Amino acid sequence: MPSWDHSSEIGLSPSAGSRKCLRLEAEGLPVIQILGDKFPCTLVAQKIDLPEYQGEPDEISIRKCQEAARQVQGPVLVEDTCLCFNALGGLPGPYIKWFLEKLKPEGLHQLLEGFQDKSAYALCTFAFSTGDPNEPVRLFRGRTMGRIVVPRGCRDFGWDPCFQPDGYEQTYAEMPKAEKNTISHRFRALLALQEYFSSLTPGVGDDHPSWGSGEG
């Protein structure tokens, strides 16, 4: 049986005007901060209980989005984050939360002690469903390449202290938030998401087919 947990989900519902309302899970504040007022939807916090699925990142994102849409009975957007070590074939990947809980940033770095390849990438995926189970889930991905290093910087945000993006001397944790938000995996995924929704004509959203489907 899958375990249940709170994940980052965003439910879509029509608003009174031409803008749609995105109900955002409580951890979605950084999403609001990054998108600012450029996103063509109103953002509001919400939580949805979802199973912790197993599988490849895309598969997990799709299944979680489908389940969220079933619960919401309408359009929904789900966020997932992975940290992938190339030397380990992509692990921890979508299981980074459990690795981090047990090993902390120091332990994540030690996982690669026996490997010359310290390269890694951070992956963020937003999965969007129109709410119609017959339509495919659309994926918006953002990836930032980097390497795993001895932890440095603040310890207030997960594995940030041990991930140093390519081209930078600082880890995520050492970067000013404004700078990190211009290069992060989440920012790149949000750009793809923003581009998609911004391409919709004003007022679109009352009928699911107009939102489009498929893979981003």
Contacts for 21 with CB less than 8 Å, ≥ 6 apart:
12, 13, 14, 15, 41, 42, 43, 44
DSSP 8-state symbol, 182: T
186 is in an annotated binding site: yes
Structure-block tokens of residue 178: 């404004």
5 is in an annotated binding site: no
109 is in an annotated binding site: no
| H runs (alpha helix) in the chain | 29-35, 57-72, 96-110, 177-180, 185-198
Alpha-carbon span 108 to 146, nearest angstrom: 14
pLDDT in tens, the chain (216 residues): 333 333 445 444 444 344 555 555 435 556 655 665 666 666 655 678 888 899 999 999 999 999 988 888 878 888 899 999 999 999 999 999 999 999 999 999 999 999 999 999 999 999 988 888 999 999 999 999 999 999 999 988 899 999 999 999 999 999 998 899 899 999 999 889 888 877 764 543 444 334 443 343
Cβ proximity of 23 and 4 under 8 Å: no
80 is in an annotated binding site: yes
Cβ proximity of 171 and 151 under 8 Å: yes
The phi, psi pair for 164, rounded to 5°, reads -115, 110
20 is in an annotated binding site: no
81 is in an annotated binding site: yes
The phi, psi pair for 116, rounded to 5°, reads -75, -35
Structure-block tokens of residue 142: 């953002």
Structure-block tokens of residue 167: 């081209």
Alpha-carbon span 100 to 199, nearest angstrom: 38
Surface-to-core class of residue 201, CB atoms within 10 Å of its CB (0-12 exposed, 13-18 middle, 19+ buried): exposed
Number of Cβ atoms within 10 Å of the Cβ of 28: 22
Contacts for 176 with CB less than 8 Å, ≥ 6 apart:
none
Cα separations in angstroms, 30 against 17, 64, 110, 177 = 25, 21, 29, 10
